[in-house]
Structure 1
């Protein structure tokens, strides 16, 4: 029960609490450049995927962002929520407008990074499937030979798996340039952790 509770806390923290905090707090930083897709990031995508696929990623991002947030009226409604700025003596309207603009820049970049990350998903999925099957077979062979399985190793691998997946989710919102090759790290870590978890149960 305690381990299940810790598991739920990990899921809540990495997939709900931390992204929510980032989405609310980060747009308040008074530096517009932190929320742009930098030349470093876009050039790394072009070097890794090629110019054609990099351009396609931008087109896909624009189409998704427009369909999900612009055409639905969400962007305009957020920008209009502050009302008129004629009596903005305390600067709150300007702050709210700046926060909203940077929030949507943050969302746009997260969508862009998700589109780029999708390039690795098929390979990661195949590696994870192979690691799961191989780990399970190894566990069965060990069990047939009356071998010992380590529950501690299993729990550590599961928590590390959650942290790795959660980190990959949170990194979409980080206000720093993200080179495309960084997705190689979870492509290696996730199958390895899945293999450890399945071979240790």
Structure 2
């Protein structure tokens, strides 16, 4: 692929991700205009909005896969792997704001990839619990849901927080909570 064609494709995918997250009914023409390319260029590559959406999800899954691989969730110490994961996944969430669950009913292959990635995170959270980084009275599913929610919050509700600082906040909140320990008070 020529360099200009690759740049155009990247612009279309990123613009499509942003606009379709804001309004799922956004037209290809609107995406092309916002991306600064001719709509015929987009139609040559993607015959329908659904085809463009599938390509956006594929790009997000590719980015997420790289993050999971680089975080070293199995090999690195839990706090280090968690920080690496969050620091890298926050920009992915910001660049590709579409929720991949939207595509899962229509694309079994994408769903399988998403499930595999989700399973890797589930196993990591279980590892964190097994190694004592998470409270033993908290179900791993709860901890995993909290991790997903904290990442989503950092990525979208606090877009000005840089990824390293977002990772600091998410890791500290997940592993230590937000409540301060006051003398004389014990948790129930």
TM-score using structure 1 length: 0.26
Q: Which has the higher helix share?
A: 1
- Bigger relative contact order, structure 1 or 2 (CA pairs below 8 A, ≥6 apart): 1
Bigger-Rg structure (1/2): 1
State TM-score, norm by structure 2.
Answer: 0.27
